[in-house]
Amino acid sequence: KRTVGIVVAAGTGTRSGSATPKQYAPLGGRAMVAHSVAAFAAHPGVDTVIVVIGGDQEEAARAALGDVTLVPGGVTRRESVLAGLEAVAASGGAQRVLIHDAARPFLPAAVIDSLLAALETHGGAVPVMPVADTLAFGADHLGDVVPRDRLVRVQTPQAFVFSDIMAAHRNWPADREATDDAQIARAAGIVVALVEGSLMLEKVTYPDDFAAAEAKIAASSH
Q: In the range 87-126, which residues lie near ligand CTP by CB under 6 A?
A: 101-103
CB of 1 to ligand CTP, least distance (A): 25
Q: Which CB atom, from 148 or from 203, has the smaller least distance to ligand CTP?
A: 203
Say whether residue 201 binds ligand CTP (CB under 6 A): no
Q: Nearest residue to ligand CTP, using CB?
A: 11
Say whether residue 80 binds ligand CTP (CB under 6 A): yes
CB of 150 to ligand CTP, least distance (A): 25
Q: Which CB atom, from 34 or from 102, has the smaller least distance to ligand CTP?
A: 102
Q: Which CB atom, from 13 or from 123, has the smaller least distance to ligand CTP?
A: 13
Write the DSSP assignment of the chain as a string of letters: --EEEEEEE----GGGT-SS-GGGSEETTEEHHHHHHHHHHH-TT--EEEEEE-TT-HHHHHHHH-S-EEEE--SSHHHHHHHHHHHHHHTT--SEEEEEETT-----HHHHHHHHHHTTT-SEEEEEEE--S-EEEESSSEEEEEP-TT-EEE-S-EEEEHHHHHHHHHHS-TT---SSSHHHHHHTT--EEEEE--GGG----STHHHHHHHHHHHHS--
The site for ligand CTP (CB under 6 A) is made up of 8-16, 23, 52, 73-77, 80, 101-103, 203, 205
